Structure 1
Amino acid sequence: MVDVEFRVVSDRRDGLLLALGQVVIANGFTLLRQRMLNSEEGVVLSMVVRGPAESLLVLEERLGTHHLVQSFEASAYEGGNGAAAAPAPVRSNGAASAPNIPPPAAAPAAAAAPAQATAAPIDTQRVETLLPQLARNYPNILLQLVALERELPPSQREATLRYIGQRVGAWVYKRDYALGGQLPLHDSVRRIALPAMRQLVQAELQDDALRIRNSPFCHRGESGECCHFLRGMLGGLLEGQHGADGVRVVESQCRNTGAEACRFEFQA
C-alpha cells in the first residue's frame, strides 16, 4: 500500500471533491484527508489517498485527464507510515477547528433503531473517531462515508451508518435550526430537512416526500434500499422538533432498486 498526495487545480468548486473522490474510490484507493481552498490559480484541492501501488498509475491518469482538472500534481506523502490506521483529523477550507458532534441528549447508546439489539455491534470507537472529522469537513463528508461503508462488514452497515447519520443530523439541527419555533412535521421537512440535505445532495420535495437524485450510496452491487446514512440524518434533523418517537423516516424508493430517485417519506 502507498500513501500519495494529489494537488488539483480547477475552475469549479461545486461537485469537485465528490467527482474526484469517486474516481479515487473506484480505483481501489481510500481518501485519508482532503483540503480545498481558493487561490489565484483557481480552486485548489489537495487529497491524501492510500491504496495499491500497482493501481497508482491508472489513478493518476484518470485524475489528470478528468474534465474538471486544469492542472495536476502527485507526490509521495511523507506523513503516513502505510499502516491501515484510521484517517487522521482533517482541517477543511483553512478552518482552525470545529466542534465535535455530541452524542444525542437522550440515550447515546440507544440512538439507533431498537432492531440493532440483534444486529452486529457498532464499532463505537471507530465511530467516535470519525465524528469529529465529519464535523470539521462538513458538508464535504460523503466520500468519507462511502469509503467507510465499503470497509464495514455487511452486517454492520445499516446500523452504523444510520447511527452516524442520526448523530450528524442532530448536530446540524442544534447548530443551525434549534432557535426556531416548533413546526408541524410538513413544515419541518420543508424548512429544516430539505435545506440541510441540499448541502450534501440534490434534494427536492414532492407530495410531502423528499426525493434525492444523486445519493452516493446507490449502485454498490447489493440489493435493497441502501441510503442508511441519509435516512439516519433526516431522523436526527427532525427529532429536534418532534422527539425520537415523534417521527419515522422511511426510504420508500431507492435508485439501488431501480427507482429514478431515492424517496424518503415521513410519518408522525
Structure 2
Amino acid sequence: MVDVEFRVVSDRRDGLLLALGQVVIANGFTLLRQRMLNSEEGVVLSMVVRGPGESLLMLEERLGTHHLVQSFEASPYEGGSTAPAPTPVPRNNGSASAPTSVPPSAAPAPAASPSSAPPIDTQRVETLLPQLARNYPNILLQLVALERELPPAQREATLRYIGQRVGAWVYKRDFALGGQLPLADSVRRIALPAMRQLVQAELHDDILKIRNSPFCHRGDSGECCHFLRGMLGGLLEGQHGADGVRVIESQCRNTGAEACRFEFEA
C-alpha cells in the first residue's frame, strides 16, 4: 500500500471533490484527507489517498486527464498520521459562536451485547470525527471510504453512530437558537436544509427523499443509508430528545427504489 498526495487545480469548485473522489474510490484507493481552497490559479484541491502501488499509474492517468482538472501534481505522502487536531468550522448561520471542537459526545458508543448492535471501533470513530468537523460539508467520500473498510457486522452501527454525532453537532452549530418546533416543522426547517448541504434532498408530505445517496449499491442487501439515517436522528433529537423521534428508511435505491425515502415518527 502507498500513500500519495495529489494537488489538483480546477476552474470549478462545485462537484469537484465528489467527481475526483469517485475516481479515487473506483481505482481501489481510500481518501484519507482532503483540503480545498481558492487561489490565484483557481480552485486547488489537495487529496491524500492510500491504495495499491500497482494501481497508482492508472489512477494518476485518470485524474490527470479528467475534464475538471486543469493541472495535476502527485508526490509521496510522508505526513504520518492523517488525523488533524480538532478544528472549528467557521461557517455559522446563527448568532451563536460555532463550536470549536468535534461533534459532541452526548451519548457513549453502544456497548456490545448479544441483543444490541455490533461493536463499534470507538477509537477509530473518535479519530475520524475531528476530520469530519474540519472538512464539513465535504465528508461523504470519507464516509464511503470508511464503509468500504469496515467489517460488515460493524457498518450499520458505526455509520449510524457517526451520523448521530454529526447531526447533533450540526444542530447545535446552526439551529440550537430556534424555538421548539413540532416534528413536521423540525423536519422542514432543520433536517431538510442540513441534508441539502450534503445531498439532493426534497420534502414531500413530511417524507424526506434523497436521490443521490452515495451509500447505495455497495454490495449489501436492504437499506444502506445508515449514516444519513443517524444524522437525521441527531438533528431532530435536539428538538425532541433521543426518545422523541424515530427515523425510518422506508425505501432505498439499494433495493431498487427511485429515491431513498425517510419517514419520521414522534
Same fold (TM > 0.5)? yes
Q: Which residue of 2 aligns with 1:25?
A: 25
d(CA) in 2 for partners of 1:120, 1:94: 31
d(CA) in 1 for partners of 2:88, 2:162: 23
Q: Which residue of 2 aligns with 1:83?
A: none
Q: Which residue of 2 aligns with 1:61?
A: 61
d(CA) in 1 for partners of 2:183, 2:216: 27
CA contact (8 A) 1:101 1:171 kept: yes
**Pair 1:75 & 2:75 matched:** yes
CA contact (8 A) 1:2 1:53 kept: yes
- Aligned match of 2:212 in 208, 211, 214? 214
Distance verdict in 2 for CA 1:151–1:29, change over 3 Å: same
Q: How does 1:142-161 map to 2 (within 5 A)?
A: 142-161=140-159
- Aligned match of 1:258 in 252, 256, 259? 256
Cα-Cα RMSD: 2.2
Task: Quote how far apart the aligned CAs of 1:265 are.
Answer: 0.6
- Aligned match of 2:103 in 101, 104, 121? 101
| Secondary structure, aligned partner of 2:61 | helix
| Secondary structure, aligned partner of 1:229 | helix
- Aligned match of 2:84 in 76, 85, 89? 89
Distance verdict in 2 for CA 1:90–1:27, change over 3 Å: farther
Task: Quote how far apart the aligned CAs of 1:108 are.
Answer: 2.3
d(CA) in 2 for partners of 1:93, 1:238: 22
* Paired amino acid for 1:87: T
Distance verdict in 2 for CA 1:226–1:108, change over 3 Å: same
| Number of residue pairs aligned between Structure 1 and Structure 2 | 258
| Secondary structure, aligned partner of 1:108 | coil
Q: Which residue of 1 aligns with 2:230?
A: 232
* Paired amino acid for 1:31: L
CA contact (8 A) 1:212 1:261 kept: yes
Task: Quote how far apart the aligned CAs of 1:115 are.
Answer: 9.1
Task: Quote how far apart the aligned CAs of 1:125 are.
Answer: 1.1
d(CA) in 1 for partners of 2:3, 2:22: 17
| Secondary structure, aligned partner of 2:212 | coil
Q: Which residue of 2 aligns with 1:170?
A: 168
Q: How does 1:2-41 map to 2 (within 5 A)?
A: 2-41=2-41
CA contact (8 A) 1:210 1:264 kept: yes
d(CA) in 2 for partners of 1:75, 1:93: 28
CA contact (8 A) 1:92 1:137 kept: no
CA contact (8 A) 1:33 1:90 kept: no
| Secondary structure, aligned partner of 2:133 | helix
| Secondary structure, aligned partner of 1:237 | helix
d(CA) in 2 for partners of 1:153, 1:178: 35
d(CA) in 2 for partners of 1:201, 1:66: 23
Distance verdict in 2 for CA 1:46–1:135, change over 3 Å: same
TM-score scaled by structure 2? 0.91
| Secondary structure, aligned partner of 1:47 | strand
Distance verdict in 2 for CA 1:164–1:93, change over 3 Å: closer
* Paired amino acid for 2:148: R
Distance verdict in 2 for CA 1:99–1:91, change over 3 Å: closer
Task: Quote how far apart the aligned CAs of 1:128 are.
Answer: 1.1
TM-score scaled by structure 1? 0.90
CA contact (8 A) 2:166 2:231 kept: yes
Identity of aligned residues (%): 87
5+ residue gaps, structure 1: 81-85
